[in-house]
Amino acid sequence: MADLLKIRNLALGYPGLTLFRGLSMDVTQGTSLAVLGANGSGKSTFVKMLLNLIDPLAGKLSWPNGRPSEVGYLAQLTEFDRRFPLRVRDLVAMGAWKGFGLRGHLSAETHDKITSALEATGVLEIADRSLHTLSGGQLQRALFARVIMQDTPLILLDEPFAAVDQNTEAHLLTLIDRWRDEGRAVILVVHDLSSVLDRCDHVLLLGGGTASFGPVRDILTPERLVSQKYLSESQAAWMFPEASREAAHD
């Protein structure tokens, strides 16, 4: 699979505050990357940089096949207005907004795509319901349907499982697998290690002023998770009991 994005010697932060520096990594088509880190480690800043909302402090980003005109994006729900008078179907249609623009009508093909996206995320039955009547899981499914409508080579999901139950999370993870199989690159910002371990190819661990990138098993070691302040030593010992016993034995 071809590289979608190359990052070299990246430093991110704000004037007077460097969150991390020295990150070099490639994002390849058909892969999924988890971004992990403690609060304030720079996860959201990394997402904003990929969305071109902020510039890096140093380093270089290059897009070998050209920068995509649009990035699939699922934001955190902190600023989402659930009382806005909109139906689920309209929310999903937002994903194709750039296609039909300011005044254009939705084509029959777009309507079909919306129906397919609603079906794929399991919210077709509630397509005509208002947003304020939805549960957290139903809303997140609808937002995943909007990402399907965006139909982009790179997809950013910022804490996609924050307000959903296990069933919904399992369903949404199958969608991520599908996107990866279709050759898209998926970047997920997550807090929970368990949803990452067997699903993502690579992980970017942020914290302690550094950024570590690599295959999941290489990066998510207890030593690194502790040194980059993602876990305390006692948490690491509880989550990785074998590694802890080996360390004690040595």
Partner 1 sequence: MIELLIEMWSFAFMQRAIVATTVLSASVAPVGTFLVLRRLSLAGEAMAHAITPGVVIGFVVAGLSVFSLLIGGVIAGGVAAVLTALLARKTILRSDASLASIYLIALAAGIFILSAAGSAVPLKSFLFGSILGIDDASMILIGAVATVTLVAFAFLLRPLIISTCDPVFFEAQTKRPLLVEQAFMLLLVLNLIAAFKTLGTLMAVGLMILPATTARYWSSTITGQLGLTFVFALSSCWVGLTLSYFFPETPSGPAIVLTAGGFFLVSVLLGPHGFGVRLRKTTPQSTSSIVQTPTEKSPQ
Q: Which helix (H) or strand (E) holds 217?
A: helix 216-219
Residue 98 makes contact with partner 1 by CB under 8 A: yes
Residue 169 makes contact with partner 1 by CB under 8 A: no
CA distances in angstroms from 105 to 90, 93, 109, 110, 246, listed in the order given: 13, 11, 11, 10, 64
* Positions 179 through 238 that interact with partner 1 (CB under 8 A): none
Distance, CA of 226 to CA of 249 (rounded, Å):
19
Residue 167 makes contact with partner 1 by CB under 8 A: yes
Report the length, in residues, of the chain: 250
Give a three-class secondary structure readout of 226-242: HHCCCCCHHHHHHHCHH
Amino acid at 207: G
Q: Which stretch binds partner 1 (CB under 8 A): 9-17, 23-31, 90-98, 229-237?
A: 90-98
Q: Which of 8, 60, 67, 82 binds partner 1 (CB under 8 A)?
A: 82
Residue 119 makes contact with partner 1 by CB under 8 A: no
Which residue in 43, 49, 76 sits closest to 205, CA to CA?
43
Residue 51 makes contact with partner 1 by CB under 8 A: yes
Residue 138 makes contact with partner 1 by CB under 8 A: yes
**Cβ closer to partner 1: 75 or 237?**
75
Residue 67 makes contact with partner 1 by CB under 8 A: no
**For residue 122, what are the contacts with CB-CB under 8 A and spacing of at least 6?**
141, 171
Q: Do 139 and 84 touch, CB atoms closer than 8 A?
A: no
**Cβ closer to partner 1: 140 or 195?**
140
Pairing between β-strand 185-189 and β-strand 202-207 as defined by DSSP bridges: unpaired
Residue 136 makes contact with partner 1 by CB under 8 A: yes
**Cβ closer to partner 1: 111 or 245?**
111
# binding residues, partner 1 (CB under 8 A) = 42
Pairing between β-strand 210-215 and β-strand 32-37 as defined by DSSP bridges: unpaired
Can you give the binding site for partner 1, defined by CB under 8 A?
Answer: 51, 53, 70-71, 73, 75-76, 78-82, 84-87, 90-91, 94, 97-98, 101-103, 125-126, 129-138, 163-168
